Amino acid sequence: MPLSLAALMRAIELNNVAVTSNKFAFSIGRLAAADMASLDALTAQVLARRVVMDQMSLPELIRDREERLLAYGSAKYVERYRKLVNAAAGHEAIARAIAISFYKLLAVKDEYEVARLHADPAFRAALAAQFEGTAGESYAVKFNLAPPALSHGVPRKKVFGQ
């Protein structure tokens, strides 16, 4: 049964679940079906605008990493990071290597950090936009962690709810 684009868009609106995202996804699917080369060109344009770490100036890179460390840990992490990066002042290549690798060392993405990121209000807002209802009532968010204090020897994953 052929349906008009207007009818399909109205059906997405009536469903009232992540309307903007679903309309966008539907449009991308139509473009891919009709003209994959255009979608590839559009994707290449978007990717070309992304700022890659290697293209950041050293001050931009340091500022970005300090913001991430502040969100990850605390001002003490930022101070520790800045102290080591500043020790390489005057040696751009060394300072850049320290800025990148020391950040990775400080901000390990272990399961607890992943859980912290998932507890971020922005993540919760993204979930709310994608799913109908309320977290904890209509759907559940669960985390699989292996806390050493509860593992007694070999770490074993346990499920923790909201």
Q: What is the pLDDT of residues 109-144, one digit of tens each?
A: 666 777 777 778 888 888 787 777 887 788 888 878
Q: Which of 17-31, 80-94, 138-152 has the highest mean pLDDT?
A: 80-94
pLDDT at 7: 92
Write out pLDDT tens, residues 71-96.
877 899 899 999 999 999 899 999 99
Across-strand partners of 144? 159
pLDDT at residue 108 above 80?
A: no
What CA–CA distance (Å, rounded) separates 99 from 68?
12
| pLDDT, greater one: 69 or 144 | 69
- What backbone torsions phi and psi does residue 159 show, to the nearest 5 degrees? -90, 130
Write out pLDDT tens, residues 42-68.
888 887 766 677 788 999 999 999 998
pLDDT (average), residues 149-157: 76
For the chain, what are the domain ranges? 5-49, 53-108, 112-160
Q: Which helix (H) or strand (E) holds 10?
A: helix 5-15
pLDDT at 121: 87
Contact indicator for 107, 68 with CB cutoff of 8 Å: yes
- Give the sign of the dihedral formed by CA 93, CA 49, CA 20, CA 12: negative
